[in-house]
Structure formats: structure tokens, C-alpha cells
Amino acid sequence: MQRFFRSPRLLEIALPLAAVFIAFAIGGVLLWLLGANPLEAYWVLISGAFGNLNGLTSTLIKMTPLLLVALGICISFRGGVINIGGEGQIMMGALAATAFALWLRDLPGWLLLPLTLLIGAVAGGIWGAIAGILKARLNVNEILSTVMLNAIALQLMNFLLRGPMLDPAQIAAGTNVAQSETLPKSVWLLRLAPPTLLHSGVILALILAVLVYFLLWRTTIGYRIRTVGLNPSAARYAGMPAPFYIALSLTLAGAFAGLAGAVEVTGVQHRMLEGLSGGYGFSGIVAALFGKLHPLGAIPASFLFGGLLVGADKMQRAVQVPSALITAINGLVVMFVVASEVYVRRARRRAGREAAEASLKIEPNVHSVQTTAP
Amino acid sequence: MSDEFLTLATLIGIAHSGVRLATPYLYAALGEMFGQRSGVLNLGVEGVMLMGAFTAYYAVYLGGDPWLGVLAALATGALMGLLMAVISVTMQAEQGISGIGLTLFGLGLSSLLLKVLVGAPVSVKGFSVWEIPGLSAIPVIGPIFFDHNVLVYLAYLLAPASIYVLNRTTFGLKIRAVGQNPEAADSLGVRVNAVRYATVILGSSLAGLAGASLSIGLLSIFQENITNGIGFIAVALVYFGSWRPLGVLAGALLFSTINAFQLWMQVLGAPIPSDLAVMLPYILTIVVLAVGVKQIRQPAALTKPYERGE
Amino acid sequence: MRKFSWSLVLVLLAGLVFSACAAPVAAPAGGEVAATAPGAETAGGDAAGGDAAAPLRIAIIMPSSITDVAWSQSMYTGLKAVQAEMGGEAAMQISYTENMFNVADAATAIRDYAVDGNDIVIAHGTQYGNAMFDVAVEFPETTFAWGTAIDTGADKGLSNVFAYEAQAQEGGYVNGVIAALMGDSDTIGVVGPVEAGDAKLYIDGFVEGVKATKPDMQVNVSYTGSFGDTALAAEAANTHIKAGAKVLTGSAQQVVGAIGVAAENGVYWLGTQSDQSPLAPEWVVANQLYDWTGVIKDMIAKREAGAVGGAAYSLTLNDGLVIQFNDQAPVPAEVKAAAEKAIEDIKSGVITPLK
């Protein structure tokens, strides 16, 4: 019985939940101070995110870009590079996809849609590759370059959306609001549950999660990316060109973020506009790490994190507290959940030792205990 | 317009703006540098800056002296640093993500406090410009360097002070040892995690002060998300400076001066789209680092938590 | 050690929390604080317990915060004013969702508000247009309003959508006239956010107003590339002042930084969107206010008369745009007179800015 309570599997689920609970408890005090009923608020949060069709589809819509970005983050963090350039990569992907779909708007949808998504991924990939090549060739740290590239992408978007890509209708109306023309209907992703905005992009993201799992654990490229990430010098000894794999992992991370941008454009917005990246570049990192940097773990992680974001918005509306409170609680959740992982790791190590000792007594061949070290 | 662009007055103006703009970056980046030298990446600088900026503003708003605001910012920064240290050092959390959490927390809490305690922002009487007598009269140099508020001067004194602390004190030696080889430092009797607590708290206090240098220094007001990404740029500048105070100083000045330059170009009517002008500092920072600076390897233990005897 | 660190976290956060709750007692300012808290209670709890006459329920989704001293605040202030006029919470309830820079989130909010049975749902940003039209189709009884826009969805067969916009160039022109006469130098500076939309309209109108008044006046325009980069906006203001400007203007929530710099350097400021006088009482000369109360009241009246949508509103100096002089700033009578004349000329159509 005691064994069961100390088993790492159980802790792996229980501890993050406990961390969320503590963050909510602190948030609850703040809610109470603002004159809201915390229990009511949190009930709205949970039921609002998962309790009805509207909430559930909103969560799935939110999950889609989170999961796509998180998949890229899984690859890059496994490859030992910290990609915080998701925001810029999303913007570049969305811009390129929009420009492409508007340019070749007369192509049939079965051709135009895949090409549009591909172009989005390529553009995001290029934006990631810039940081990757800078790191591989010129030793420019990726945190620096991705932060700067985010700012550059933002200005490029401003420039394009108020000039070359500005919606002609906005010019005609004289309002000049920075957004592109509406995309041709042929590239709109299929709506899965009208009237909600849920679109087929979520299916694409789920399929890609499985593919990334195969890429990372069933292919040579994946093996090498992980080796370079875990131990660059060992990888070099084994004859792997580490710089190449570093550049590759940032490129792939950028491609997934770019695809997320293209999916947002074709699935949700149907045009390019400001604020499209919506913080997914950062939230995606959180989702990836909640999923233990595992592509399949990223699925429930981005679903739950997406639900948290959706539910928190509903809660703001229901009990009418400033949105800033929600942001603060989200920050607490993120901090406490990552902090709780240390206990999972310790429990796993302890279990590993105990298992090793036990098996030593019974049979000589010891099972090696795997620990996933990010 | 263009014929009068490169006058001496313009160049002095650009340099003067650059020196002033660099202030928050300097505090935040030099503080972050201490943490990173000891092996802790704190991506939460932005959140700490926001909390520091708010508490400094609020202290002055309640009628306090600006120096009280500075104290409030330092204390708030230290508290946020303690939180970060508990999570990242003791609990060994993934540092990139805990920093993002801290940023969200600071962004949310500072905006919430503004709403609850102040309402719509109103301006306060922060630090005024204090021309240093004598020095400010020197031609060219005077108007560029000695015509600022006191928090600007302090930021520049912080760079040599950091060099001294890092290279000439036992504390600095411990920081470097802990960041390069924590096992060896531990075996020599250095308390690795204590040093990291100290650097993270010191760094966050300075990030808080960076916030104060905005809210009661350059701007005399607080507004939601007043930092608008300065904290992230500051982290990037630590990499630019290769973890050396002078490198960080050079990076902050380069970034800010180019920013001042593009503002002047716009003001003087240079025929460049404004968005492309705004991009300049970001592009040039990357380019200069890529082709112009000899880089040093990062502290070997950066982002790696330390656990004894494992 | 583990217990110790957890208790540290808790103590730390408790400290932050209590500093948050203890302070309102000490805080001198009361108005806005009081306005938020009771609103929260009623919206959450008492909403369902309707009296005999159910109150009108209005919901609004905004891209920035209700205290942004600019676009979002202007509409929120308008709603609050109408609410007070109609008799407070009993007659009209306001729900708001702020900082909705993500359009997908805004789409959810719009739908939620419609499902929740609000009478009027205001999508306070052009970017929300597509999302709002999608929802508007399903809720023909609900009134929707959006701006900056002129499209009421008539071509989509919709009759329940109002659109609104502000002819920001009109007030911009008047502010330009004032600016040209206020400073004793030949240079004026403009601290712009992003060169698009409402900000561009205002700034273009402003420049035209200056040039019409004093053709030789030099107007320097700069953009920070962001709506929220307060620090860069402040430095832009510094730069304009160094370049000789004695009067400044600008728009979006970033300008709070620039206004501080103007006050510090003794330079006049002309505001737009919301009342910016409290930021620098002696230096903010005048503000172009977006007074949405007329639009809101007309929408309510139309709705009560049976028309749930269909009209497009435009704030002009004739209706809704107000040039408000700040009494604390010393404005010469002849400047006021020139401004009044410009206002009259625009109202009567003698001058049409940006045409």
C-alpha cells in the first residue's frame, strides 16, 4: 500500500494537480479580496472549459496552435536549444500563408489549401532557421536571436499589413485598419461542429503529434537530434555534425510554429490581422514542458492548458474580475507545476533504486530504469 | 532635411537619448548577468521589472519620496527573486519555463494592483533631471552624459561595480566557480545553492530597480505592461555581452543608441517606412554579435540545477 | 528543506496578497476602485434575481484595458455614463472582457455573451468583425455593435448589427489648429503608435490642421511601432523636444509616457480618444474626446423601438466628437477662438479634413 502511494506514476499525475490546486487557492484569496466567490469562479472555470459544447470546442480551438507550437518545442528542447521565437515564427507563417493564398486564389482548394499550409510551415521554418544557422555557424545564442527575431517579425507584420497586404476594403472605407483581405473560401479549413469555430486543424495537429513521436524516437534523425541535445561532445565523438542538428531542430521548431500560424489563418481568422500570434509562442513552451517534452504528452498538456486559458476567460466574464488576475493565476500555475516536478524525479529515482535492489536479489539481469531528463 | 541630418546637435541628441534609453536595460541585464554567471537563467525579468515599476510608482503615488520608491522596487525585486530562487534552485524547476511563469505572474499582479489601488493611471513626481554641476558644462560630453536623472547615473556606475564584485571579491569568485563547476566548488566548501540564491535575489532586485527607472525615472507613470518586452531584450543582452559587465554595457548602449538613431531619423523626416526603422536596433544587434564580437563560452552550469552527491 | 521551501513560497505570496488588500484603505483615490468591486458582485450574484422590469444588459469586448486612457476607456466611460443616466445597475448592467488581443478568444467571448442573453453585445475592435458576424447570424434577437467599422452586414442579410467609427481626423484637425497657435516655435512633434487605422486618421488630420493654420510650421512625425511601448514613446517625445518642438500630440495607450516627458520639459500636449488631462494637468491643453454616449443611447432607443440593428454611426464634431479644453492649462482666448472657428467650419462643411 505504501508502495502505491510512493509510486512515481501516481505522483506524476497527483503532484501537478496539487500544484494547480495550490495556485488556485492563492488565486482564490485574491478573488475573494476582489469581492468574488472563489468556488463559483472556479466552477465556472472548469465547466466553462470542458462542461459544454461551446466551451469544449473553444478549448480544442485553443489547443490546436498550442499543440503545434509545443511539438516544435519538443524537437528543439530535445535538441538542446531553447526556442523562444515562437511568436515571430507564427507571425511569419501566417503572413506567408495569407499572401500565398491571396496571390493564387484561383487555384482549386484541394491544391491551394495544402500548399498554403506548407508555405506557412516553410516561412516559419525559415524564420527558425535564421536563428539556427546563426547559432550553428556564428555561435549567436538562440535566446538572443529569437527574442530579436520576434521583434523584427512584429514590425514586418506591421509594415505588410498597413501597406502591401492591407485589405482593399479598408482603403476604400478610409479606416485603414491593419488587416489583410479575407482569404478565398477554398482555403478555409473544414468546420467540424458548426456553428462553433472548431476546425479540422485540430486533427492535423493530433496526427502530427504522432508523426513527431516517430521522428524523435524511431528515426536516425530523431536519435541524433536527441543525442546532440543530451550530450553534444559525445555526439561529436560519434561523428555527428552537431551544428547541423542544432540548426535543424530550430528549423523544425520554426516550421511547426509557422504551421500554427497558417492554421490559425485558414481555420479561425480567415485573414491575417494584428495579435494573431496571441502569445501561443510562449504558451506553447509551457504546454510542451507540461507534457514532459514528449509529443504524445503534449496532447493532454495542451488540451488542459488550453482549457485553463479558455476557462479563465469565462471566469473573468462570469465573476467580472480584471483579466490581470487571470494572468497572475496562470503564472502561479506555471511556476508551481514545474516546481512540483522535482518530487516526481526524486520519487522515480527512489523507485529506480528500490527496483534495482529488488531485482538484484531475484535475478541477475537488471532492467535499466529510464529517466526522462529534459 | 537630410542636409541638416548629421549636424553636431543631432549627433549629441542621438547619443544623449541612447544613454538615457539604455538605463532600464543596464539594470536588468547586469542583474541577470549575476544570476547567469552562477548558473541560473531567469527568464522572468520582465515580470520582476513590472512589479518593481509598480511598487516604486505606488510608493511615490502615496506621497513618498522617489528614494522610497527605489527602496520599494528593490524590496519587491528581492521578494520576486526569492520566489524564483525557491522554484529554480531549491526545487530545480526547468528555468526557461519557471521564468515564463514569473513573467505572467508579475504582468498580471502589477496590472491588477494598478486597477485596484490606483484605477486609471495618473502621473507622479518622480526623479527630475539633475545636471551634474561642472561636468554638464563640458562641451559635447556634458550634454550627452551629465544631463540625466540620478537613476541614469547609477545605472552606469553599476557596470564598474559589477566588474569589481565579479573579479575582485570572494563573492565574485564563488559566483564564477558555482557557474563553471558546481561540483568542484562544493568540494571546496562553497555552498552552491546559497550563492545562487544570492545572485538570483540580487539580480531580481536590480530588475525591480530597472522597473523603477522607468516608472519613477524616465516616465513618471505606471501603465499595464509598461515594460513591453524590455525584460526579454535585457536577457538577450546578457548573451550579447558574453556574461561580462562591459560587454553588457556595450550591448545596451548599442541597442539603445540605434533605437535613438531610428527615432531621430523619423523625426527628421528620413524617407524610410516607420516599421522598418523600428526594426533597425533588433537587426543590428544580431548582426554585430554575429560578425563583430568574439564570443566566449557560456557558464558551463547555466540552466543546470545542482544537487549534492548525485 | 522541502517543507521549508513550501512555507517560504506561501509566506512570500501571503505577503504580496496582504499588501494588495491592506492598501485600498490607505489609498486616497476611491472612485475607480469602488466602481469595479460592486459591479463585480452584482454581475456575478444578483444578475439572475431580476426585479419586475429586467435591466438592460450590455456586454463589451475590448482589445485593451478599461483604463488604457485611450480607445477602450472611451467606450467604457460612455457606457458608465449612460448607465448612471438610466438609473444605475437596476436599469442597465454592464459586463466587460478586456485585453482581448486574441481574436479567437474574443470570438468565444462574443458567443458566450450572446448565449448568456445579453441584449446588446459590443465588439469594440475592427479585428472582431468576422467573429461577430458569425455569431450575429445565429442570434437575430440580440443586438451587436462593432467598430471601427461602417459595415452593418446588410449584404449578409443581417439586420441586427450596428457599426460605429470616429472621424478622428476632424478633431485631429482642430488639435492641429490649436497646436500651431500654442507653441512659440516653428516645430511640432507627433508621437504615433503604428501607422494605421484610427491613429493614422488622427495624425493626418492633425498635420493638415497645423499646415492650414501656419503653412511654414515644421511637423515631425514618428511612430514607435507599437501601441504599448511606453518607454519608446517617451523617448520619441524627448527627441521631438530636442528637435525643437514646443507642442506635442500622439495617440494610443503608449502616450502616457510621452505626456510625462512633455510635462517635465514644459511642452504642451494635445490629447485624443480619452481625457488625458489628469496625466499632466498644466500641460495638456485640450483633448479630442470620443463621446460614445449618443451612439449608445441611440442604439438602445432603436432597439426599444424594434430595430435591433442596421445603422452605422460616425462620431463627428457635429455629433460625438468633443474638443475639451483643459481649464488648468493657460490657453489664450484667441487660440480658443481659432479652435472654435475650425470646429464651426468643419461642422458646416466649409472644411473637410483629408478630402
pLDDT per residue over A134-180, tens digit each?
998 888 889 889 999 999 999 999 999 988 898 888 787 777 778 89
pLDDT per residue over A282-312, tens digit each?
999 989 988 888 999 999 999 999 999 899 8
For chain A, say whether B223 makes contact (Cβ under 8 Å).
no
Amino acid in the structure at residue A58: S
For chain B, say whether A275 makes contact (Cβ under 8 Å).
no
Amino acid in the structure at residue B153: Y
The helix (run of H) or strand (run of E) holding residue A302 is: helix A298-319
CB B294 within 8 A of CB A139: no
The nearest alpha carbon in chain A to C67 belongs to A322
Within its chain, how far is the Cα of A302 from the centroid?
Answer: 7
Q: What DSSP line would sit under C124-177, residue for residue?
A: -SGGGHHHHHHHHHH-TTSEEEEES----SGGGT--SEEEEEE-HHHHHHHHHH
Q: Would you call A238 helix, strand, or coil by DSSP?
A: coil
pLDDT per residue over A347-370, tens digit each?
777 777 777 776 655 544 433 333
Per CB-CB distance under 8 Å, the chain C contacts of A318 are 44
Mean pLDDT within B169-189:
94
What is the least distance, in Å, from the CA of B85 to any CA of chain C?
A: 10
- Among C9, C108, C133, the strongest candidate for a mutation testing the A interface, having the largest count of A CBs within 10 A, is C108
Mean pLDDT lowest among A151-155, A356-360, B103-107, C186-190: A356-360
Mean pLDDT within B162-190:
94
Residues C175 and C252 in one domain: yes
Does position C337 have pLDDT exceeding 80, yes or no?
Answer: yes
pLDDT per residue over B280-289, tens digit each?
999 998 888 8
C-alpha cell at C339: 479652435
Give me chain B's average pLDDT, please. 91
**ipTM given for this complex:** 0.91
Burial class (CB in 10 A: 0-12, 13-18, 19+), A23: buried
What residues contact residue C232 under an 8 Å CB cut-off, 6+ apart?
A: B21, B228, B259, B263, C224, C225, C226, C254
Residues C118 and C66 in one domain: yes
Per CB-CB distance under 8 Å, the chain C contacts of B111 are 65
For chain C, say whether A179 makes contact (Cβ under 8 Å).
yes
Mean pLDDT within C311-322:
92
Does position B166 have pLDDT exceeding 90, yes or no?
Answer: yes
C186 versus B54: the higher-pLDDT residue is B54
Q: Would you call C187 helix, strand, or coil by DSSP?
A: strand
Chain A neighbours among B 246-285 (CB < 8 Å)? 273, 275-276, 278-279, 282-283, 285
C-alpha cell at C326: 483643459
pLDDT per residue over C21-72, tens digit each?
333 333 333 333 333 333 333 333 333 334 457 899 999 999 888 888 888 9
Q: What is the dihedral of CA A134, A139, A143, A146, to 10 degrees?
A: -10
Burial class (CB in 10 A: 0-12, 13-18, 19+), A14: middle
Q: Would you call C251 helix, strand, or coil by DSSP?
A: coil
- Among C18, C224, C242, the strongest candidate for a mutation testing the B interface, having the largest count of B CBs within 10 A, is C242
Residues C162 and C180 in one domain: no
Amino acid in the structure at residue C343: I
Task: For residue B194, name the pLDDT band (cuts at 50, 70, 90).
Answer: very high
Mean pLDDT lowest among A191-205, B283-297, C255-269, C282-296: B283-297
The answer to whether the peptide bond before residue A195 is cis (omega within 30 degrees of 0) is yes
Mean pLDDT within C196-219:
92
- Residue A121: the pLDDT is 98
- Asked if A323 lies within 8 A of C111 by C-beta distance, the reply is no
Rounded Cα distance between A307 and C53, Å, is 37
- Asked if A313 lies within 8 A of C195 by C-beta distance, the reply is no
Kindly give the interhelix angle for A86-103 and A142-162, rounded to the nearest 10 degrees.
30
- Among C16, C65, C127, C167, the strongest candidate for a mutation testing the A interface, having the largest count of A CBs within 10 A, is C127
- Asked if B13 lies within 8 A of C27 by C-beta distance, the reply is no
**Nearest CA to C63 among C78, C76, C82?**
C76
Q: What is the dihedral of CA C349, C350, C353, C355, to 10 degrees?
A: 90
Give me chain C's average pLDDT, please. 83
pLDDT per residue over A188-209, tens digit each?
999 888 777 889 999 999 999 9
The helix (run of H) or strand (run of E) holding residue C83 is: helix C71-86
C-alpha cell at A30: 485574491
Does position C19 have pLDDT exceeding 50, yes or no?
Answer: no
What residues contact residue C292 under an 8 Å CB cut-off, 6+ apart?
A: C74, C75, C78, C79, C164, C315, C320
Sheet harboring C187-192: ordered strands across? C218-223, C187-192, C247-250, C268-273, C284-290, C321-325
Comparing CB atoms, the residue among A148, A336, A338 nearest residue B286 is A148
- Residue B309: the pLDDT is 63
Residues C228 and C335 in one domain: yes
Quote the domain boundaries for residue A103.
61-320
Comparing CB atoms, the residue among A34, A158, A276 nearest residue C40 is A34
Task: For residue B294, name the pLDDT band (cuts at 50, 70, 90).
Answer: low
- Asked if B97 lies within 8 A of A289 by C-beta distance, the reply is yes
Chain B neighbours among C 30-89 (CB < 8 Å)? 31-33, 35-36, 65, 67-69, 73
C-alpha cell at A118: 506548407
Does position C2 have pLDDT exceeding 90, yes or no?
Answer: no
DSSP lists the bridge partners of residue C93 as: C57
- Among B279, B283, B308, the strongest candidate for a mutation testing the A interface, having the largest count of A CBs within 10 A, is B279
Looking at the structure of chain C, the number of domains it has is 2
For the domain made up of B2-128+144-292, the CATH class stated in words is mainly alpha
- Asked if C235 lies within 8 A of B259 by C-beta distance, the reply is yes
- Asked if B224 lies within 8 A of C261 by C-beta distance, the reply is no
Domain membership of residue C159 (yes or no) is: yes
The nearest alpha carbon in chain C to A317 belongs to C97
Chain C neighbours among A 39-58 (CB < 8 Å)? 40, 54, 58
Domain membership of residue A290 (yes or no) is: yes
Per CB-CB distance under 8 Å, the chain C contacts of A317 are 95, 97, 109, 112-113
The nearest alpha carbon in chain A to B279 belongs to A152
**Nearest CA to C280 among B20, B111, B148, B220?**
B220
For chain B, say whether C220 makes contact (Cβ under 8 Å).
yes
- Asked if A156 lies within 8 A of B103 by C-beta distance, the reply is no
Residues C98 and C162 in one domain: yes
What is the least distance, in Å, from the CA of C152 to any CA of chain B?
A: 32
Does position A256 have pLDDT exceeding 90, yes or no?
Answer: yes
- Asked if B93 lies within 8 A of A339 by C-beta distance, the reply is yes
Domain membership of residue C248 (yes or no) is: yes
- Residue B108: the pLDDT is 95
Per CB-CB distance under 8 Å, the chain A contacts of C199 are none
- Asked if C40 lies within 8 A of A314 by C-beta distance, the reply is no
Quote the domain boundaries for residue C190.
168-283+329-348
pLDDT per residue over B30-68, tens digit each?
999 999 999 999 999 999 999 999 999 999 999 989 999
Comparing CB atoms, the residue among C23, C65, C226 nearest residue B228 is C226
Rounded Cα distance between B182 and B193, Å, is 9
- Residue A169: the pLDDT is 81
- Among B86, B275, B296, B303, the strongest candidate for a mutation testing the A interface, having the largest count of A CBs within 10 A, is B275
What is the least distance, in Å, from the CA of A270 to any CA of chain C?
A: 8
- Residue A364: the pLDDT is 40
CB B64 within 8 A of CB B226: no
Residues C184 and C308 in one domain: no
The nearest alpha carbon in chain B to A133 belongs to B290
- Residue A82: the pLDDT is 86
As a whole-number percent, the residues of chain B with pLDDT over 90 amount to 70
What is the value of pTM for the model shown?
A: 0.88
Kindly give the interhelix angle for A201-218 and A298-319, rounded to the nearest 10 degrees.
140
| CATH number of the domain where residue A292 is located | 1.10.3470
Comparing CB atoms, the residue among B120, B225, B260 nearest residue C32 is B120
Comparing CB atoms, the residue among C99, C104, C197 nearest residue A177 is C197
For chain A, say whether B93 makes contact (Cβ under 8 Å).
yes
Q: Which of A31-40, B247-256, C44-53, C132-141 has the highest mean pLDDT?
A: B247-256
Whole-angstrom CA distances from B10 to B13, B15, B143, B235, C199 are: 5, 9, 12, 30, 27
For chain A, say whether C97 makes contact (Cβ under 8 Å).
yes
Domain membership of residue C10 (yes or no) is: no
Q: Which residue has the cell 476557462?
A: A311
**b/e map C279-303, b = 16+ CB within 10 Å:** bbeebbbbbbbbbbeebbeebbebb
Domain membership of residue A271 (yes or no) is: yes
Looking at the structure of chain A, the number of domains it has is 1
- Residue B302: the pLDDT is 87
Domain membership of residue C34 (yes or no) is: no
pLDDT per residue over C240-252, tens digit each?
998 899 999 998 8
Rounded Cα distance between C239 and B17, Å, is 7
Residues C262 and C306 in one domain: no
- Residue C33: the pLDDT is 33
Task: For residue B293, name the pLDDT band (cuts at 50, 70, 90).
Answer: low
Does position B310 have pLDDT exceeding 50, yes or no?
Answer: no
Per-residue three-class SS string for chain B = CHHHCCCHHHHHHHHHHHHHHHHHHHHHHHHHHHHHHCCCCCCCHHHHHHHHHHHHHHHHHCCCCHHHHHHHHHHHHHHHHHHHHHHHHHCCCCHHHHHHHHHHHHHHHHHHHHHHHHCCCCCCCCCCEEECCCHHHCCCHHHHHCEEEHHHHHHHHHHHHHHHHHHHCHHHHHHHHHHHCHHHHHHCCCCHHHHHHHHHHHHHHHHHHHHHHHHHHHCCCCCCCCCCCHHHHHHHHHHHCCCCHHHHHHHHHHHHHHHHHHHHHHHCCCCCCHHHHHHHHHHHHHHHHHHHCCCCCCCCCCCCCCCCCC
| CATH number of the domain where residue C87 is located | 3.40.50.2300
pLDDT per residue over A26-82, tens digit each?
999 999 998 889 999 999 999 989 988 888 999 999 999 999 999 999 999 999 888
Residues C184 and C254 in one domain: yes
Per-residue three-class SS string for C198-242 = HHHHHHHHHHHHHHHHCCCCEEEEEECCCCCCHHHHHHHHHHHHH
Amino acid in the structure at residue B276: L
What is the least distance, in Å, from the CA of B12 to any CA of chain C?
A: 10
Chain A neighbours among C 216-245 (CB < 8 Å)? 225-226
**Nearest CA to A111 among A184, A61, A38?**
A184
For chain A, say whether B96 makes contact (Cβ under 8 Å).
yes
The answer to whether the peptide bond before residue C148 is cis (omega within 30 degrees of 0) is yes
Per CB-CB distance under 8 Å, the chain C contacts of A314 are 108, 112
- Residue A4: the pLDDT is 53
What residues contact residue B23 under an 8 Å CB cut-off, 6+ apart?
A: B151, B152, B155, B210, B213, B217, B218
Subunits with at least 3 CB pairs below 8 A relative to chain A? B, C
Domain membership of residue A165 (yes or no) is: yes
Kindly give the interhelix angle for B66-85 and C2-26, rounded to the nearest 10 degrees.
150
